[in-house]
Each structure stands twice: as C-alpha cells, then as structure tokens.
Structure 1
Amino acid sequence: MKKTLLGLAVFSLFVVGAAQAVNSANDGTATLAVSGTVTSSQSICAVSLGQSTVILNGDISNMEAQGDDATPPTTIDLSITGDDQCTTLVKQGKMVYKFQGTADGIHANVLANAATGADAASGVGIGLYNMAGKVIALNQNTLAASETGTQFRMGLVKLDYQTPVAGKVQGALTVQIERL
C-alpha cells in the first residue's frame, strides 16, 4: 500500500511538472549574445619605434609622384620586443610589419594629408618606402622584420590627378606586426 501511494505521488509530481512547463501566449523570450576569443599560448610581441614623431618637409617642384620609387632621407627604425618566442619568430622570418592609416582617395596607397584649414597642403600625401626605395603600399604591403632591426623611409609625394598646393601636412601611421 505504501508503495502504491508513493508511486501515485511520484506520478502526480511528473504530471504537475509537465503542466507547469507549458508556454503561455503571454510568456516572452530573451536572446543572449555570446562572443569571445580563443587563444593559444602565444607570447606577446610589440612594435618599438625609433621615434614617435617625424617632421617631413618638401618642395613641390622636387616631390616624387605617387607610386614612384624613391629614397627620401627620412628613415624610421623598427624593432620587435617580447620574449624568446618573438625573437624565434623573427629569426624564422615569420614576423612582418604592416602599415595602417587613412589612405589617399585616388589609389589608396599613400597616407592622406589629415591637415585641415586654410593653411593645409592639398594634392600631397605621405609615401612609405623600403630601404631600397620601393613603395610600401599603405594598408596592403608588409615589410619583413629583422632580428637586427628594420628601417623604412617616408617622404612627401604629389598625388595623382591633383594639383599640389603648399601648406601643412599631418598624418597618423599605425605600425603593427603580423605573424605568418
């Protein structure tokens, strides 16, 4: 008898529980957005710049055309700092520098002049070059990192399809590292 009552009580609980699980037309739902990152045990490497500010001056009559190879005199030193894993990746040729910034509106391969106002130069951008004078296209090309340090060149250039006008030039360049 006790077993029968116990069985009836357990059955009643299941029936009541099932009745409680029914959705009502008044019930609402909610959505949870989940995001995150899965990482491996990679070490943290950082770019070190030889200088954080560069002053570029140029004469419109002597400025290189956008996209032409050149060897402007301004050089910037780059290096990668970090632990032994960073050093090993650089030695293996598995680290490169990428140059990011606001590109010009024509070919999008040089840093745009961000100076504004009546005294801002127009028709002029900031070109990036490797040490051999080959163009480094902004937001596209990379430059191999070297364990002894890496350098690149910067210079003012005349933008294609625009008439250069003398004035102030400003730009912001981000140098990041990429693992290959």
Structure 2
Amino acid sequence: MKVLLCRDIEKLGWLGDIVEVNDGYARNYLLPQQLAISPTEANVKSLADAKVRRAQERTLALEKLKQVVAAVDGAEAVVAAKANERGHLFGSVAERDIAGNLREQGFEVSDDMVQLSEHIKEVGAHEVKLKLAADLFATVSVVVVSQDGTIDSIDKDITE
C-alpha cells in the first residue's frame, strides 16, 4: 500500500514522501496515528509546501550539527566514580554520565548521541564515539577518575 507521510519517520521516509508499506502497518499504525495519509493528488499538493519548508529546516539542523561536531570533536570529559584500589569501578560510567559531563562544559549533546558498546567499568582514559546524525560522528576522550583521589595511578596509566 502506498501512503503519503505526514511526518518524518526514521527508517521509512521524510514528510511528503510517498512510500510503499505493508497494508497492516499502514492500516494499524500509520493511518490511525495520523503519521500518513492516502496519496491523492490534493493531498500531495497540500504537503508540497510543507515538504520544502521541512527540507530547509533539515538543512539548517544539519549545519548546526556540523558546528556541534567541530566543537565537541576531541573534547575531554572527566568523570569521577567510586573505584577500588585496582581501578575497577563499583558501578559503571554510562552514556548519561558522559553526556551530562559534556553538557556541563557547554556542548549540546543528548544521552542517545553517546555510542558505547558497553558501559565503562575501569579507571583510565577511553575513546568514545558520538553519533550526532546518520553520518556525523565525533570522538571524545573520557577520563574516568576515582572519587577517592588516586589520580597519580591514573596519570601513569594514561602516559603508558
């Protein structure tokens, strides 16, 4: 079934696109949620202006994200966490901790932009990728330090 999208839907299409979807997906989700309508000639014309405006908004948002990438790429986030004498954390450093630290530094980063394969559970320096858009990535250095102040041992690990 062909439908005309009324909103941007990730992995499906943008506002104003005519896409082919399964009948059940259209009838049970897209149409009742008013995310799509049937692609009549009148509907296509009415969404044409909205599609142009949305394309301009996407271009502006992409430019803003490129500026954020340029600013945050290579930044350093220092996160303090409780750890034992061997440098193992009692908990872990998650995406929200890293994003929160970067926000405190003035960067516009949300929790879902931080890409961790698994939570950080060791004291030391770690490289973390940020995914700001489908094809925009930045790399930040995350330094995890022990809250009890054993920074000397951490400095030795970083220099090695």
Q: Structures share a fold, TM > 0.5?
A: no
User: Normalised by the size of structure 1, how large is the TM-score?
Assistant: 0.20
User: Normalised by the size of structure 2, how large is the TM-score?
Assistant: 0.21
Higher helix content, 1 or 2: 2
Higher-Rg structure is 1
